[in-house]
Structure 1
């Protein structure tokens, strides 16, 4: 588990994309920014490329909005389509995380921190990206721990 973790978490919405990164140890996710989702070839792409290069990202972790019944709806398919274009352009692999209710959780966390404003949707998106990436990091750590225990037996 001593490998450096260089993952970028994305909360892809219709208007904005929340972006989160993690420390190199893979323990803590932090919100980085929110990017307005304009045309793909515009500033959005340049900002993502700059973040990927600066942080030496090797993997995209994207929240996939399953329906409450667990099916992939139209929004999830749109996220997959968008993500495929971004991943191809950046030449990076993608892992998806079930993001059901992350925006609700993000609002609750921000309210608890007294940092919530209904006018700052970007802050919610950035917090949701942080939750998505933290969930992936926690699952990765648990999976690695189980593998290590099996190897020791």
Structure 2
């Protein structure tokens, strides 16, 4: 079963997908927002290509765990996603510090600032999915 994670921002959507066994996460791309219709068209292409059965959407809670405007926007996106993809369930996953983790990994790999900007959301989606997959693994162990 493949799971797709989404790091939904105001300008882009970072996209990652699991392998068939749900062990690893691979970054796919960063979708630049144009229209919701275009966003969902591209997501449909990816979900069909990778036979995605579940979405995990990063929930951008504040560092103290409170909800802000970004959470409201993400929840609104999720509601639209559910209408566009009624066949694919979604779950939220706390995304605090995923962008920071992705940034540190890219800096450690000596990726230039210009290139980091292009891939940071995709890498954050990978971090979201890795956290979720680890949670599922621990849950399945018992």
- What is the aligned partner in structure 2 of residue 98 from structure 1? 94
The alpha-carbon distance between structure 1 residues 83 and 116, as it changes in their structure 2 partners (threshold 3 A), is farther
Aligned length: 141
Q: Could you list the structure 1 runs, at least 4 aligned residues long, displaced by more than 3 angstroms after superposition.
A: none
Please give the per-residue CA displacement for 1:13-48, whole angstroms capped at 9, x wherever unaligned.
000000000111111001000001121012x22110
Write out aligned runs for 1:1-153 (5 A). Answer: 5-42=1-38, 44-91=39-86, 92-118=88-114, 120-146=116-142
Segments of structure 1 that go 5 or more residues without pairing to the other structure are: 147-153
8 Å Cα contact 1:33/1:126 also seen in 2: yes
Report the Cα offset of residue 140 of structure 1.
0.3
8 Å Cα contact 2:95/2:128 also seen in 1: yes
Segments of structure 2 that go 5 or more residues without pairing to the other structure are: none
- Distance (Å, rounded) in 1 between the aligned partners of 2:85 and 2:118: 23
Please give the per-residue CA displacement for 1:95-144, whole angstroms capped at 9, x wherever unaligned.
11100111111100111122242464230000000000010000000000
8 Å Cα contact 1:6/1:58 also seen in 2: yes
Aligned with 2:113: secondary structure?
coil
